[in-house]
């Protein structure tokens, strides 16, 4: 008896000590295939170096739909891991900012939150009386060192309203969002990005969503190469050149070359061929012509060439065409000159990105330049045909079925990453007239990066013809589809502008094993009978067996 009591007492003491130890040591075993409960080494390195108090307030709380409860739980799990690695330097809490508020107080609270970047999301929740509208805040605020960064937990809300897919995408992106915000607080680093203007590049309206999206993490503005001086270039981390249509002067190229020599990154999004679908509206035809941008020699020296051709691809986006008639009906038709570009899966920079919508794309070649490393980022499908330009384009082509024999090809490269020390374009050349400042021109640049894309429209958002408002980047208002253009832009800019490589966090993949809803509807009765009827049947059979067993046993 004493031995039993000692064993019980020892068990109780062991449980108590285990609970005490759990207060000081946090650990768990991640048995998932994709290690979704394990922090990336880059995150651990940043979090463990925190030497300032950081407070994280998550506004996603209260009564939530199941999908958003999953997002909340995933956020809580992640912040638990952060707190465990950072010790007492990270504190977090979940709050419902509108709990108990109504009327004027509710409106005032929402407006105050909106001013600091905390935007609400309105949901239609099904209940006994039909549908009720509910306001939630899928946002977190990261504060520290006198700075605050709002984080949108709900990403890529598309027009189809598929919350399960949106929530899954959001969960995959949580670690990147929080780690990036913490890094900015620690380093107080806000990379400066300049979108060039002055050569008929994309307008502010066409770049509206790109600039707005990047402004959450960077200082973004327009840069006129005719006006900016050496001091202005020195303050920039990155240049983005999107669809220039006017020839670059030698002065402008000299400034770009200086920027590259000092280690600045450049994102080239170039249309070597001039073609616009809007120009076909009246006649239905347009001549796709070669543009003279005066950039060929510069890109060649940097290890790339955007060719003067157009790619026709059977894997393409659709365009709206009027079918005539009294109603003026619109019908969607595939347009082979709008290829859907595929990210190269071997590059972590574009891994897990959806198809990219493009318009009138040219192939991109790499040139053998010593000291430079080239990587392919974007390709077409294997069913394409490359046309030399100039070429006459006609809307009548939509009625033609692509010949599989003519389109059988290999994927064409349309986007490349180049890294290393770039040779100077202006080495041993005279300084162009118009340069009044002293720009150092070394033979080789500091280690740098640049990306060359054979389409100038990849980062252009569509604009409403009714009120001139901008649609989200990557969203096609005609097909109501959202493509991966915005994610591509964020990945490329993050990689080119940040010393800390957090791209692996953005490419984190979390697989959610959801039930097949169609199969669930079809087999619902079968599984209900199996789950309810089988246990009852087994219980009845056991009772019958027990009855006869006892009868036979005691009858003897």
Confidence of residue 323 (pLDDT cuts 50, 70, 90): low
- For the stretch 227-232, contacts whose Cβ atoms lie closer than 8 Å and that sit 24 or more positions apart, written own/partner, are 227/198, 228/194, 228/255, 229/437, 230/258, 230/437, 230/438, 230/439
pLDDT (average), residues 517-542: 80
* pLDDT tens by residue, 79-111: 888 888 877 888 899 988 888 777 788 888 888
Q: What is the pLDDT of residue 500?
A: 62
Percent of the chain whose predicted confidence (pLDDT) is above 90: 37
* Residue pair 496/265 in contact by the 8 Å Cβ criterion: yes
> Which residues are paired to 266 by β-bridges?
239, 450
* pLDDT tens by residue, 69-81: 888 998 998 888 8
- Other Cβ atoms less than 10 A from the Cβ of 171: the count is 22
Least confident of 99-113, 424-438, 454-468, 483-497: 99-113
Q: What is the pLDDT of residue 158?
A: 45
* pLDDT tens by residue, 175-225: 888 888 888 888 776 789 999 999 999 999 999 999 998 887 789 999 999
Percent of the chain whose predicted confidence (pLDDT) is above 70: 87
Confidence of residue 535 (pLDDT cuts 50, 70, 90): confident
Confidence of residue 373 (pLDDT cuts 50, 70, 90): very high
User: For residues 492 and 20, what is the distance between their CA atoms, to the nearest angstrom?
Assistant: 47
Q: Which stretch of DSSP H or E encloses residue 186? A: helix 163-187
Least confident of 240-249, 367-376, 479-488, 508-517: 508-517
Q: What is the pLDDT of residue 156?
A: 53
* Arithmetic mean of pLDDT over the chain: 84
Least confident of 207-221, 287-301, 542-556: 542-556
Residue among 418, 425, 277 at smallest CA distance from 357: 277
Q: What is the pLDDT of residue 159?
A: 40
Confidence of residue 172 (pLDDT cuts 50, 70, 90): confident
> Which residues are paired to 470 by β-bridges?
463
Q: Two tokens at 485?
A: 């253009």
* pLDDT tens by residue, 389-418: 999 998 888 877 788 888 888 999 999 999
Would the pLDDT of 62 be above 60? yes
Would the pLDDT of 463 be above 80? yes
Which one is predicted more confidently, 334 or 507? 334
Continuous H helices in 61-135: 66-86, 103-115
Q: What is the pLDDT of residue 155?
A: 67
Would the pLDDT of 326 be above 60? no
User: For residues 186 and 209, what is the distance between their CA atoms, to the nearest angstrom?
Assistant: 27
Q: How much is the pTM?
A: 0.75
């Amino acid at each position: 008896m004493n031995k039993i009591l000692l064993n019980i007492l020892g068990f109780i003491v062991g449980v108590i000590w285990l609970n005490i130890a759990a207060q000081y040591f946090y650990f768990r075993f991640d048995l998932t295939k994709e290690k979704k409960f394990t922090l990336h080494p880059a995150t651990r390195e940043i979090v463990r170096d925190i030497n300032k108090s950081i407070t994280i307030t998550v506004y996603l709380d209260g009564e939530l739909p199941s999908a958003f409860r999953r997002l909340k739980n995933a956020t809580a799990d992640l912040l638990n891991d952060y707190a465990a690695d950072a010790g007492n330097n990270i504190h977090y809490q979940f709050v419902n900012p509108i709990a108990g508020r109504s009327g004027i107080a509710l409106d005032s609270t929402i407006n105050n939150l909106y001013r600091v970047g905390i935007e609400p999301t309105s949901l239609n929740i099904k209940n006994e009386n039909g549908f009720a509208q509910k306001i939630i805040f899928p946002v977190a605020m990261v504060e520290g060192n006198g700075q605050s960064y709002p984080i949108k937990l709900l990403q890529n809300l598309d027009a189809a309203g598929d919350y399960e897919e949106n929530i899954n995408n959001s969960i995959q992106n949580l670690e990147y969002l929080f780690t990036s915000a913490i890094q900015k607080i620690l380093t107080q680093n806000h990379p400066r990005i300049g979108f060039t203007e002055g050569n008929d590049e994309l307008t502010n309206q066409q770049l509206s969503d790109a600039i707005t999206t990047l402004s959450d993490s960077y200082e973004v503005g327009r840069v006129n190469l005719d006006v900016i001086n050496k001091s202005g270039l020195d303050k920039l981390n990155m240049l983005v050149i999107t669809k220039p249509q006017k020839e670059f002067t030698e002065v402008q190229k000299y400034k770009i070359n200086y920027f590259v020599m000092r280690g600045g990154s450049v994102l080239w999004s170039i249309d070597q061929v001039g073609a616009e679908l809007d120009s076909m509206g009246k006649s239905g035809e347009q001549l796709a012509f070669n543009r003279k941008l005066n950039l060929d020699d510069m890109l060649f020296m940097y290890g790339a060439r955007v060719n003067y051709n157009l790619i026709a691809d059977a894997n393409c986006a659709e365009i709206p065409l009027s079918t005539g008639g009294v109603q003026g009906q619109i019908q969607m038709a595939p347009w082979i000159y709008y290829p859907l570009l595929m990210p190269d899966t071997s590059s972590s920079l574009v891994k897990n990105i959806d198809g990219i919508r493009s318009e009138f794309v040219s192939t991109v070649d790499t040139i053998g330049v010593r000291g430079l490393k080239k990587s392919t980022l974007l390709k077409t499908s294997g069913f394409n045909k490359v046309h030399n330009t100039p070429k006459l384009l006609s809307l009548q082509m939509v009625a033609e079925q692509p010949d599989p024999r003519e389109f059988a090809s290999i994927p064409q490269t349309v986007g490349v990453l180049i890294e290393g020390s770039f040779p100077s374009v202006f080495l041993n050349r005279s300084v162009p007239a118009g340069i009044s400042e002293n720009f150092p021109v070394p033979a080789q640049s500091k280690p740098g990066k640049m990306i060359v894309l054979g389409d100038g429209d990849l980062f252009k958002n569509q604009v409403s013809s009714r009120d001139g408002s901008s649609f989200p980047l990557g969203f096609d208002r005609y097909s109501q589809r959202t493509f991966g253009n915005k994610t591509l832009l964020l990945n490329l800019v993050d990689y080119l502008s940040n010393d800390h490589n957090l791209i692996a966090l953005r490419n984190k993949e979390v697989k959610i094993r959801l039930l097949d809803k169609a199969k669930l509807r079809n087999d619902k009765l079968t599984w209900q009978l199996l789950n309810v009827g089988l246990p009852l049947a087994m219980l009845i059979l056991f009772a019958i067996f027990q009855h006869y067993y006892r009868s036979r046993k005691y009858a003897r």
